[in-house]
Amino acid sequence: MPVQMNLVEKLVWNDLNLAPGIVSDYFTGMAFRVAELAIKMGIFEVLDSNIPLTALEVAEKIKAGPRGTYLMLEALDALKYVKKATNNSYTNTKLTSKWLVESSPHSIHRGVKLFKHLLFDRLESLEETIRNDHPADTIWEWLNKFPDGWEFFQEGMMFGAKLAADELLCHLKFPAKATPHRLLDVGGGHGIYSVKACLKHAHVEGTIFDWPNSVAIGKKIVGANQLLQKIHFIEGDFEKDTWPSGFDTVFLFSIIHGYLEEGNTTLFRKIYCSLNSEGRVVILDLMVDTPYGTFNKTIAKLMGLTLFNDVAGETHSFEHVKAWLQNAGFECIKKRKLLKSPYTMIVASKGKKGQS
């Protein structure tokens, strides 16, 4: 959890400007590092039971020193990742049990490795990027420096998918017809969205179009869900390679932030040609003009800077995206802000009778 402040502390540090707010940012960064290290060291896993453990017991299980383990658990207690009992034993909080323990179906613990690398490694090049007005290297080139780079990248992307997929699919209809509803998931890598769509709607058949490094990971996830007969893969570069056609729906999730107007308009035109006459494109991304909350708006602005450092991209406004879709021929363009994630969903139809 972010470092929490009471009302008086908020007045001093934020509202009245009596103390330097950047110090709070420093401790928030430290809090993330502590939580990430707890995952790496297996602290949350050994506490994943109904039996509270003392610091000495935790230290023995993770093969660490007792004093350091005690101080770590005290910090995690202050951050509300663990809870300390009156007998000086510790258990995971509900937040940790849901999101940071491997056995939980909601767990994002594997994706935290990506967050660590992005925050403490990747941003080292940010000053150079800003001064040169262009990234020194792309995040794709950077990932190739790690033996497991593509794996932890996709695991990080799955975090966003797990937050958004169920809510998004509640707002999308997949009308039944005589033939299967054909879904193209562009840059769908890990396959979470396609898997959930096919599990929810028996008549949907998916195709994931992505780079070989990403497809290799997606095949494992699709296979684990026993959907290799319903979800197919195309290994390639959707910027350069020929697109398949005849689809009813195209997913374009967390892609448009990597392009500016020209690149996105070109991408939308390719999607338009790949769709059937009444097909639709569904876009999911961060929007700088999101109407909900300071937190979401801050995320969109921070990610805009990060994306510039990663791929010379940025986050866009809905009005810009709408204009680019219209230029590509799309109609009936609608948006919906998701509540459980910072993303906005945009649906655009190829024809006026297109799907909602």
The whole-number pLDDT of residue 291 equals 63
Q: Please state, in angstroms and rounded to a whole number, the distance separating the CA atoms of residues 214 and 46.
A: 32
Q: Does residue 168 have a pLDDT over 60?
A: yes
Each residue of 279-301: b (16+ CB within 10 Å) or e? bbbbbbbbbbebeeeeebbebbe
**Average pLDDT of span 200-213:** 95
Closest CA to 168 of 72, 87, 283: 283
The pLDDT-based confidence of 159 (bands split at 50, 70, 90) is confident
Q: Does residue 345 have a pLDDT over 70?
A: yes
Write out the DSSP string of 53-118. Answer: EEHHHHHHHHT--HHHHHHHHHHHHHTTSEEE-TTSEEEE-HHHHHHTSTTSTT--GGGHHHHHHH
**What rounded mean pLDDT belongs to the chain?**
92
The whole-number pLDDT of residue 356 equals 56
Tokens 């663990």 belong to residue: 82
- Angle among Cα 299, 318, 328 to the nearest 5 degrees reads 135
> Which residues is 89 bridged to in the sheet?
54
Q: Does residue 324 have a pLDDT over 80?
A: yes
The pLDDT-based confidence of 354 (bands split at 50, 70, 90) is low
Query: Percent of the chain scored above 70 by pLDDT?
Result: 98
The 10s digit of each residue's pLDDT in 5-58 is 889 988 888 888 988 988 888 999 999 999 999 999 999 999 998 899 999 999
Q: Does residue 352 have a pLDDT over 90?
A: no
- Determine phi and psi for 302, rounding to 5 degrees: -65, -40
The whole-number pLDDT of residue 49 equals 85
Q: Tell me the C-alpha to C-alpha distance, in Å, between residue 95 and each of 49, 78, 86.
A: 14, 14, 20
The 10s digit of each residue's pLDDT in 99-136 is 999 999 888 888 898 899 999 999 999 999 999 999 98
The whole-number pLDDT of residue 177 equals 77
Q: Does residue 353 have a pLDDT over 70?
A: no
Q: Does residue 2 have a pLDDT over 90?
A: no
**Average pLDDT of span 283-298:** 85
Sign of the Cα pseudo-torsion (271, 214, 193, 223, in order): positive
Q: Does residue 325 have a pLDDT over 90?
A: yes
Q: What domains are defined for the chain?
A: 7-107 (1.10.10.10), 149-349 (3.40.50.150)
The pLDDT-based confidence of 171 (bands split at 50, 70, 90) is very high
The whole-number pLDDT of residue 340 equals 85
> Which residues is 163 bridged to in the sheet?
none
The whole-number pLDDT of residue 355 equals 59
Helix, strand, coil abundance in the chain, percent, nearest 5: 50, 15, 35
